[in-house]
């Protein structure tokens, strides 16, 4: 189903969609649409480039009650993240992150400060299934390191717009999040380790990602078979 890129440090593979694009429709309260999350994968020699766009909005009585915009560009080489640049507007609050691989690790600069992250850190962009064995993650919005505990919830049949898929569910338990932010994120990966679903709670509402039947490229950046 996907194309493999070797990850020597984990003996795993980057599993990419056949079209090199991946698209999710995002819902709140299970059925109220609020936007999209789209990824595009490019190859540049031995480097893999991932470009991501998230566009979310909640309107009440024709008034925008909440909006979220996020752009992310990652460069991977030799199984490791070697460069990342993101910018985020979370309902009026701006965040940014820039990082490059250096001799001592990933040199991070952003809204969360400047520091050196571990060279093998995995960002919270979810497409890389190696995240399921991580103990720390790089928050792509705030630019901080998050301590996490992963749980393997086992096999689950998941409904997507592409049909019902046999998947494995994993839960990220975030141990170092500020008060008021989500502390658990559920992820689903199919038999080839491709990312196919996500869900979490925010402000008392369940947010669900449903994989689209046909992937749509992002715009260029400046236990039941039921919907979750």
C-alpha distance across the termini of the chain, in Å = 23
Q: How many angstroms separate the CA atoms of 219 and 161, rounded? A: 21
DSSP 3-state assignment of 139? Answer: coil
For the stretch 148-194, pLDDT in tens is: 999 999 999 998 888 899 999 999 999 987 666 778 999 999 999 99
The β-bridge relationship of strands 32-44 and 47-60 is antiparallel
Please say whether the beta carbons of 156 and 206 come within 8 A: no
Does some domain include residue 216?
Answer: no
Does some domain include residue 36?
Answer: yes
DSSP 3-state assignment of 176? Answer: coil
Does some domain include residue 68?
Answer: yes
Residue 139's pLDDT is 96
Query: At a CB cut-off of 8 Å and minimum separation 6, what does 56 contact?
Result: 26, 34, 35, 36, 66, 67, 68, 69
CA distances from 228 to 94, 167, 190 (A): 30, 13, 15
Query: At a CB cut-off of 8 Å and minimum separation 6, what does 120 contact?
Result: 9, 80
DSSP 3-state assignment of 79? Answer: coil
Going by the DSSP 8-state scheme, the letter that residue 128 receives in this structure is S
Query: At a CB cut-off of 8 Å and minimum separation 6, what does 53 contact?
Result: 36, 37, 38, 70, 71, 72, 218, 219, 221
Going by the DSSP 8-state scheme, the letter that residue 181 receives in this structure is S
CA distances from 7 to 2, 14, 76, 128, 130 (A): 15, 7, 10, 10, 9
What mean pLDDT comes out for the span 194-214? 90
Does some domain include residue 123?
Answer: yes
What mean pLDDT comes out for the span 187-211? 93
Does some domain include residue 17?
Answer: yes
Q: How many angstroms separate the CA atoms of 46 and 36, rounded? A: 29
Does some domain include residue 217?
Answer: no
Confidence band for 12, pLDDT divided at 50, 70 and 90: very low
Query: Which CATH number covers residue 107?
Result: 2.40.360
Range of the domain at 152: 3-211
What mean pLDDT comes out for the span 129-145? 95
What mean pLDDT comes out for the span 40-46? 94
Q: How many angstroms separate the CA atoms of 58 and 171, rounded? A: 26
Please say whether the beta carbons of 180 and 174 come within 8 A: no
Residue 9's pLDDT is 32
Does some domain include residue 226?
Answer: no
Going by the DSSP 8-state scheme, the letter that residue 144 receives in this structure is -
Residue 16, CB-side half-sphere exposure with 13 Å CA sphere:
18
pTM comes to 0.85
Residue 214's pLDDT is 55
Burial of 165 per CB tally in 10 Å (0-12, 13-18, 19+): buried
Does some domain include residue 223?
Answer: no
Q: Report the domain count for the chain.
A: 1
Confidence band for 7, pLDDT divided at 50, 70 and 90: very low
């Amino acid at each position: 189903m996907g194309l493999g890129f070797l990850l020597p440090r984990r003996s795993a593979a980057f599993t990419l969609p056949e079209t090199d694009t991946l698209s999710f429709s995002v819902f709140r309260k299970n059925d109220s649409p609020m936007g999209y999350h789209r990824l595009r994968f490019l190859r540049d020699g031995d480097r893999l480039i991932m470009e991501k766009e998230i566009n979310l909005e909640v309107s009440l009585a024709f008034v925008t009650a909440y909006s979220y915009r996020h752009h992310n560009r990652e460069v991977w080489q030799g199984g490791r993240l070697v460069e990342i640049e993101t910018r985020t507007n979370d309902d009026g609050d701006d965040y940014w992150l820039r990082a490059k691989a250096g001799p001592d690790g990933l040199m991070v600069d952003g809204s969360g400060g400047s520091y050196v992250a571990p060279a093998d850190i995995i960002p919270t962009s979810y497409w890389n299934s190696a995240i399921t064995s991580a103990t720390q993650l790089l928050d792509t919005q705030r630019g901080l390191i998050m301590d996490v505990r992963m749980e393997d919830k086992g096999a689950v049949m998941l409904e997507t717009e592409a049909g019902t898929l046999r998947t494995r569910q994993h839960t990220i338990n975030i141990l170092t999040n500020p008060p008021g932010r989500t502390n658990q994120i559920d992820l689903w990966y199919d038999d080839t380790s491709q990312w196919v679903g996500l869900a979490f709670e925010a402000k008392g509402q369940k947010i669900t990602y449903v994989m689209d039947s046909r992937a749509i490229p992002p715009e260029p950046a400046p236990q039941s078979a039921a919907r979750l």
